[in-house]
């Protein structure tokens, strides 16, 4: 199997491209190459000319934003299947955020100019790309709303609910990232995370295996405590929970 | 709701919208010939959350607010639209439902552009797609700034920053004394994501610096101080 075939195998499972016909996936794959970054490496830097998009295949990266006064801060943490660098689709575009790896990360690099030409020649694919970008905007809208409306403990509770799996009558969530990275993802300090965990212990959330496993005694009660409506808790699903926080 | 044909001034505003002007003269004329200016009164809704986004809009004049309403009925103001320009194009062109309510705060004039009509014009001008994507990226930048501010700035900075931005966007700064008609305090608190109690405390601190007057009507007294406090 050559690189184009292997990359097309990855692309067809990404949310952005899963509805595309095989010939379009293969054409897109021909614009791509594998890239591997070590831990703590800057993948893209804000304000630099945007030449490529990156689809994260394996690993976690941190997005940070710099305001007009030059202050910067983390705004999100992304993992497998996420796309960064859409600014590369626009002529003379510059990256809006910096992206740094939190661990060794494998990604597919998509040439920006080539992809833009491809979209100009494939109107329906451009519409699906537009739809995927709009979904990201809607997630950011939900994130902004949640940041405004929910307490730190509620947001941490929702984060745990997103990955919770039922085990022996309770729910458990494996914590796959360091607490410091989790704190940055949720826009909190480590101290706030500790206070939030203490607060959550009052509603049946406990830590096990040195904090690598979070046990939820009653997921429904926790969802209610976090302010999720019945429909949100039942129909939200993992993606909606993650978008919320 | 009343409506009227587009004037040349309206056309000038439409031509300021990059993904519309990029269509070129004939295509844009063809598109606009199918549209009228709608006049809406304070309190009316242009759309509700969950409605299928069949139109996107160009705001010509007036003020709008975009609001999320929780299942419990609590409102969160997500954005005040006070400047001429396009909005709701992302959800509309993507064929989604509006994620927020759009309510008229001050009598407004808008152009509703049907999604299907725009897409059929766009299909004949694929080179314009880059401008459409650029439009979406402008909204992404808005949300990045929004999330950054909520996560990384203090309430007093957010209030100062909001007042400066709102004044600039409203374009109503008259002479030495500021005459900007700011939204109600509870709506500003909701917009920048702080509790009414924290908002009141922060306003008192801002007032003590001499930057604002926080009586029944908010007024900026010393813009330089306010800019400094926003940093």
Give A-chain residues touching B126 at CB under 8 angstroms: 120-121, 123, 126
B68 in reach of chain A (CB within 8 A): yes
Position A242 scores a pLDDT of 54
For tokens 């947001």, the residue is A155
Work out the pLDDT band at A42, boundaries 50, 70, 90. very high
Q: Which of A113, A147, A181 is the last residue of a domain?
A: A147
The residue ranking higher by pLDDT, A163 or A29, is A29
- A16 DSSP assignment: T
State which residues form the domain around A41: 3-147
Closest to B144 (Cβ–Cβ): which among A65, A121, A142?
A65
The Cα–Cα gap between B159 and A8 comes to: 48
Query: Which of these three, A147, A172, A191, is where a domain ends?
Result: A147
The torsion region of residue B165 among left (phi > 0), alpha (psi -120 to 50) and beta comes to alpha
* A-chain residues near B133 (CB < 8 A): 86, 89-90, 119, 126, 129-130, 133
Q: Which runs of consecutive H residues, i.e. helices, occur in A16-85?
A: 22-29
Q: Are residues A221 and A165 in the same domain?
A: yes
Residue B36: count of CB within 10 angstroms of its CB:
15
Domain containing residue A49: CATH number: 2.60.120.10
Contact B179, B143 (CB under 8 A): no
Q: Of A53-57, A208-212, B50-54, B117-121, which gets the smallest average pLDDT?
A: A208-212
Q: Which pLDDT belongs to residue B173?
A: 45
Q: Identify whether residues A126 and A106 lie together within a single domain.
A: yes
Say how many C-beta atoms besides its own lie within 10 A of residue B172's C-beta: 12
Asked if A132 and A41 sit in the same domain, the reply is yes
CA distance B192 to chain A (A): 7
Q: Is B227 on the interface with A (CB under 8 A)?
A: no
Q: Which of A107, A126, A147 is the last residue of a domain?
A: A147
Contact A148 B190 (CB under 8 A): yes
Band of residue A78 on the pLDDT scale cut at 50, 70, 90: confident
Task: Read off the pLDDT band of A216 (50, 70, 90).
Answer: very high
Among residues B96, B115, B1, B93, which one has the least CA distance to residue B50?
B96
Query: Counting beta carbons within 10 angstroms of the beta carbon of residue A172, is it exposed (0 to 12), middle (13 to 18) or buried (19 or more)?
Result: middle
pLDDT for the residue numbered A200: 93
pLDDT over 70, % of chain A:
93
Report the gap between the CA of A87 and the closest CA in chain B (Å): 7
β-pair partners for A73: A65
Instruction: Retrieve residue A108's tokens.
Output: 């597919």
List of residues 6+ apart from B45 with CB closer than 8 A: B101, B102, B103, B104
List of chain B residues whose C-beta atoms are within 8 Å of the C-beta of residue A119? 129, 133
Dist. CA B221–CA B208, nearest whole Å: 11
Q: Into how many domains does chain A fold?
A: 2
**In contact, A185 and A60? CB cutoff 8 Å:** no
Which CATH number goes with the domain that contains A154? 1.10.10.10
pLDDT at B180: 80
Q: Let me know whether A47 and A140 are in one domain.
A: yes
- The whole-angstrom separation of Cα A202 and Cα A206 is 9
* Reported ipTM exceeds the 0.90 cut: no
pLDDT band with cut points at 50, 70 and 90 for residue A1: low
Q: Is residue A169 located within the same domain as residue A213?
A: yes
Tell me the shortest Cα–Cα distance from B161 to chain A, in angstroms. 12
CB A219 within 8 A of CB A171: yes
Are A133 and A107 in a shared domain? yes
Residue A133 and residue A166 in one domain: no
pLDDT of residue B118: 93
pLDDT in tens, chain B (231 residues): 899 999 999 999 999 998 999 898 899 999 999 999 999 999 999 999 999 999 999 999 999 999 988 777 888 899 999 999 999 999 998 889 999 999 999 999 999 999 999 999 998 888 888 888 888 898 999 899 888 888 888 888 889 988 988 888 775 444 444 468 888 888 888 888 888 888 888 999 999 999 898 888 888 999 999 999 988
**Window from A56-60, A63-67, A164-168, A175-179 with minimum mean pLDDT:** A175-179
Tokens 């833009």, located at residue: A116
Q: What is the DSSP string of B173-219?
A: --SSS----PPPHHHHHHHHT--HHHHHHHHHHHHHTTSEEESSSEE
pLDDT at B150: 84
Number of Cα atoms under 13 Å in the Cβ half of residue B5 = 4
Using pLDDT thresholds of 50, 70 and 90, give the confidence band for residue A240. Answer: low
Q: How far is CA A71 from CA A42, A123, A129, B231, in A?
A: 17, 39, 31, 9
- The residue among A229 and B125 whose pLDDT is bigger is B125
Q: What is the pTM of this model?
A: 0.77
Domain co-membership, A99 together with A195 = no
- pLDDT, residue B195, reads 81
Quick one: A64 and A161 in the same domain? no
Q: Which residue in B50, B66, B121, B144 has the most chain A C-beta atoms within 10 A of its own C-beta, making it the best mutation to test that interface? A: B144
Same domain, A74 and A120: yes
| Nearest-angstrom CA–CA distance, B47 and A120 | 31
Q: Domain check: are A8 and A126 in the same one?
A: yes
| Tokens describing residue A208 | 């096990």
- Angstrom CA distances, A170 to A54, A98, A162, A178, A206, stand at 38, 39, 14, 23, 11
Q: Could you tell me if B185 lies within 8 Å of chain A, comparing CB atoms?
A: no
The C-alpha atoms of residue A112 and residue B200 are separated, in whole angstroms, by 47
Contacts of A176 by beta carbon, 8 Å cutoff, 6+ apart: none
Instruction: Classify burial at B133, counting beta carbons within 10 Å of its beta carbon; exposed 0-12, middle 13-18, buried 19 or more.
Output: buried
Rounded CA-CA distance B29/B24 in Å is 8
Query: Hey, what are B117's tokens?
Result: 């009509």
Q: Are residues A83 and A136 in the same domain?
A: yes
Judge whether residue A231 has pLDDT over 60. no
Residue-range domains of chain B with CATH:
2-138 (2.60.120.10), 153-229 (1.10.10.10)
Residue A233: is its pLDDT beyond 60?
Answer: no
Mean pLDDT in chain A?
A: 87
DSSP H helices, A33-108, are none
Q: Which residue has the higher pLDDT, A230 or A120?
A: A120
């Amino acid at each position: 199997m050559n690189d184009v075939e292997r990359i097309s195998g990855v692309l067809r499972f990404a949310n952005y491209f899963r509805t595309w016909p095989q010939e379009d996936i293969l054409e897109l794959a021909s614009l791509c190459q594998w890239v591997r970054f070590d831990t703590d490496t800057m993948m893209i830097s804000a304000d630099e000319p945007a030449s490529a998009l990156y689809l994260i295949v394996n690993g976690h990266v941190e997005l940070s934003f710099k305001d007009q006064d030059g202050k910067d801060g983390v705004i999100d943490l992304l993992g497998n299947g996420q796309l960064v660098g859409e600014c590369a689709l626009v002529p003379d575009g510059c990256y809006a955020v910096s992206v740094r790896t939190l661990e060794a990360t494998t990604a597919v690099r998509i040439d920006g100019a080539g992809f833009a030409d491809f979209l100009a020649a494939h109107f329906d694919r451009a519409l699906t790309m537009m739809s995927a970008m709009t979904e990201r905007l809607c997630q950011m809208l939900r994130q902004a709303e949640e940041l405004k409306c929910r307490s730190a403990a509620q947001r941490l509770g929702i984060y745990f609910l997103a990955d919770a799996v039922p085990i022996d009558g309770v729910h458990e969530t494996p914590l796959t990232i360091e607490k410091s990275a989790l704190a940055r993802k949720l826009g909190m300090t480590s101290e706030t995370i500790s206070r939030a965990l203490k607060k959550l212990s009052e509603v049946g959330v406990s830590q096990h295996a040195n904090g690598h496993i979070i046990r939820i005694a009653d997921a429904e009660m926790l969802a209610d405590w976090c302010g999720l409506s019945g429909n949100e808790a039942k129909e939200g699903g993992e993606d909606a929970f993650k978008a919320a926080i | 709701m009343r409506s009227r044909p587009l004037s040349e001034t309206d056309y000038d505003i439409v031509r300021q919208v990059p993904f519309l002007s990029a269509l070129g003269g004939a295509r844009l004329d063809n598109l606009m010939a199918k549209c009228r200016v709608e006049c809406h009164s304070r309190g009316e809704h242009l759309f509700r959350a969950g409605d299928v986004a069949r139109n996107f809009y160009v705001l010509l004049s007036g003020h709008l607010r975009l609001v999320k309403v929780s299942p419990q009925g609590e409102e969160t103001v997500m954005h005040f639209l006070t400047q001429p320009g396009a909005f709701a194009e992302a959800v509309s062109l993507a064929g989604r439902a509006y994620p927020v309510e759009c309510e008229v705060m001050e009598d407004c004039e808008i152009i509703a552009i049907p999604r299907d009509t725009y897409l059929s014009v766009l299909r004949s001008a694929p080179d314009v797609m880059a401008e459409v994507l650029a439009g979406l990226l402008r909204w992404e930048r808005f949300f990045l700034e929004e999330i950054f501010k909520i996560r990384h700035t203090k309430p007093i900075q957010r209030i100062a920053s909001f007042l400066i931005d709102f004044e600039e966007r409203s374009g109503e700064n008259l002479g030495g004394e500021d005459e900007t008609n700011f939204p109600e305090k509870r709506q500003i608190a909701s917009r920048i994501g702080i509790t009414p109690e924290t908002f009141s405390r922060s306003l008192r601190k801002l007032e003590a610096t001499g930057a604002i007057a926080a009586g029944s009507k908010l007024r900026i007294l010393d813009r330089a101080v306010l800019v400094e406090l926003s940093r």
